[in-house]
Amino acid sequence: MAETALPDTSSVELARRGLMFVLSSPSGAGKTTISRMLLERDPHIRMSVSVTTRPMRPGEVDGRDYHFVDRATFDRMVAEGQFLEHAEVFGNMYGTPRAQIEQALNEGQDFLFDIDWQGTQQLRQHIRVHVVPVFLLPPSLDELRHRLKSRGTDSDEVIEGRMARARDEISHWDAYDYVLVNDDIDACYHKVRAILDAERLRIERQTGLIDFVRDLMRPD
């Protein structure tokens, strides 16, 4: 559902460099829901499509959901420096392709990233000024456990494994620029959206600003 837009009081559109908007959270803290809300309501951001070695699942499309490759291809891409970040998750490799992301950023495209703190750190090492990392916390661990159980898809053993991983992920909260407590999904979404809107206006991303101001200052 599209949001109600504010009245457009200006026809000026300045050239802008894209940003890399990172949403991280423990499983069950709301990252997937808020990511989906952003993608549905904001036409100027799209999901970064990762390269992975995991098998394709029913309904997935190569190039839309992931770029599916074998392990030998993935290792070659790592050796050739083709990833902005890469990591192993539950025995499968995932990586962010460098060339297509950098080109699209230069053209003003924003990307949404669903990665953990290690991937976030790798991104910042490559393109620090254009990475906007946001971490979502659950209101409590009891609530997080309740959310995981309410899914009805995992055994108690799997849930406890997810809880242990959640504690580890939460311990890296201070590696992010923004940290939000997700105790209400709509309120949290609007805070995430406010961060995104503000970051788009940073001077270093408005590449057309110098020429625009120069024209304003030119004598009649």
* Residue 9 resides in a domain: no
Domain with 109 in it: 20-210
* 199, 44 contact by CB (below 8 A): no
- Pairing relation of β-strands 92-97 and 83-89? antiparallel
Q: Is the pLDDT of residue 50 over 70?
A: yes
Residues composing the chain: 220
Q: What is the pLDDT of residues 181-197, one digit of tens each?
A: 999 999 999 999 999 99
The pLDDT of residue 158 is above 90: no
In a domain, 215, yes or no: no
- Distance (Å, whole) CA 50 – CA 76: 16
Q: Measure CA 126 to chain center.
A: 16
CATH value at residue 69:
3.40.50.300
pLDDT at position 215 is 93
Does a structural domain hold residue 202? Answer: yes
What is the number of domains present in the chain? Answer: 1
Q: Is residue 206 part of a domain?
A: yes
Residue 8 pLDDT grade (very low, low, confident, very high; cuts 50, 70, 90) = very low
Q: Can you give the pLDDT at residue 10?
A: 52
The answer to the question of residue 74 being in a domain is yes
User: Is 130 a residue whose pLDDT tops 60?
Assistant: yes
Helix (H, G, I), strand (E, B) or coil at 199: helix
Is residue 146 assigned to a domain? yes
Is there a domain that residue 6 lies in?
no
> Would you give the distance in Å from CA 145 to the centre of its chain?
24
Would residue 2 count as lying in a domain? Answer: no
Q: Give the strand order in the sheet containing 131-137.
A: 45-47, 110-113, 20-24, 131-137, 178-181
Instruction: For residue 217, give the 3-state DSSP assignment.
Output: helix
| Angle at 192 (CA atoms; ends 116, 133), nearest 5 degrees | 35
Give the pTM: 0.84
